[in-house]
Structure 1
Amino acid sequence: MKKKTVVIVDDHLLFAQSLESLILKIEGYHVLEILKNGKELTRYYLHKRKKPDLILLDIKMPVMDGVQTMHWLKENQPNQKVLALTMEDDEETIIRMLRAGARGYLLKDIHPDNFEYAMNVVIEQGYYYSGKVENLMKNSEDTILKKEHRPAEKLTDREWEFLKLACSELTYKAIALEMSLSPKTVENYRETVFRKLEVKTRVGMVIYCLKNNFFKI
């Protein structure tokens, strides 16, 4: 049986080696390399090393962090599947990684059984989120997968404008300035768009737009 291959990119060597040991205990998996940052990963590709089925990518790293690495991969290896594995659980970081092309987002305290499941799902199906991310997008996944259900068609032009800005890295305060609206009015747009898209969070909204290819984000 052909083994699924993984490259680990994490500057914490002890964690990376422990992660490698865990993966090697999973039947059908093989770790190709442990790299310390995104720059080492770019060199890995430039030397035409074997492309892995999956990259496990930390976010906070020296030299070239996870977000920068994702942007490089999106430009140079757009089909590479990446699973973010990090302690960063804030909404802004999650959105930045999703926008940059991450196929999944895991927190490092994930249970080993869930970790194995997540790797399989990303490799075989494309997307997986867990922990806080799963809670943030709760109830949005079913809506996203119902192709016949397109609540976004109900959005007004101004709501579409808000949606596009909300899928950027702008804060809600910055969105208010961009749209020449009060913060309270932007809050109202947010609640209306959440209701129409049938999502509960900004992360769920971003994932909805990504999976429906509404616009390039």
Structure 2
Amino acid sequence: MKKYTIAVVDDHRLFAQSLEALISSFGDYEVAFYVANGKEFIAAVEESSTLPDVVLLDINMPIMNGIETMAWIKENKPELKTIALSMDDSEETIIKMLRLGAKGYLLKDIHPDVFRKAITDVIEKGFYYSDRITNALLDSIDKKEKEDDIQLKDREVEFLKLACTEKTYKEIAGEMFLSPKTIDGYRETLFDKLEVKSRIGLVLYAIKNKLIEI
């Protein structure tokens, strides 16, 4: 039986060793290599003749952090399926990683069963986003038919694209020459139309429907 290979990029050795033991217990997965930062990861990838099936990438690391590493992956190895695995649950960080092409974002306190499902989904479906991170993730690609019926106005699309940047809602209001109250109205309207409950949900919708480039 084929074993899928996982690369672990995390500077906490004890956590990484525990993660390796957990992955090995799944049976159909094995850790290809473990490195402590992005610089070591790049060296390992460039020296290897084969790429891992999935990369588990921490965010806060010395020398070269997860965001910098994800940017390198996007530029040099976009075919790599990467899952962010971090204690950092800030909206800004999550949006950055999604924009850079991360296929999933998990918090380190995740249940082992959900962790295994996330890896499997990324391999088989190409993505996994937990409800805890997205609050109300678009259920799956199966909702495509319903999404086709969603009609967005030009200004709503403009707001949605700006919401996928690092700009604050106040900065978006200034760029669109609208009041913050009007921007709040756009946000709430899109939350309702797209059936999401967070800015991250807006980003995921935009990515899935190719309204922004990643």
TM-score of the two chains, using structure 2 as the length reference:
0.93
Alignment pair present for 1:137 and 2:157: no
Give percent identity, aligned residues only: 56
Structure 2 gaps, min length 5:
none
Report the equivalent of 1:71.
71
In the superposition, relative to structure 1, how do residues 108 and 131 fare at CA in structure 2: closer, same or farther (>3 Å)? farther
Report the equivalent of 1:216.
213
Report the equivalent of 1:40.
40
**Distance in 2, Cα, partners of 1:25 & 1:194:** 40
Alignment pair present for 1:58 and 2:55: no
**Distance in 1, Cα, partners of 2:73 & 2:35:** 15
Report the equivalent of 2:29.
29
**Distance in 2, Cα, partners of 1:21 & 1:109:** 16
Equivalent positions of 1:1-217 (< 5 A) are 1-130=1-130, 132-134=132-134, 136-138=135-137, 140-142=138-140, 145-150=142-147, 154-217=151-214
* Structure 1 stretches of at least 4 aligned residues deviating more than 4 Å after TM superposition: none
Answer yes or no: is the 8 Å Cα contact 1:54–1:123 preserved in 2: yes
Deviations 1:185-215 (A, max 9, x none): 1111111222222322211111111111123
RMSD over aligned Cα atoms: 1.7
SS of match in other structure, 2:146: coil
Structure 1 gaps, min length 5:
none
Answer yes or no: is the 8 Å Cα contact 1:152–1:197 preserved in 2: no
Answer yes or no: is the 8 Å Cα contact 1:107–1:130 preserved in 2: no
The Cα of 1:114 is off from its aligned counterpart by: 1.6
The Cα of 1:152 is off from its aligned counterpart by: 7.5
In the superposition, relative to structure 1, how do residues 11 and 19 fare at CA in structure 2: closer, same or farther (>3 Å)? same
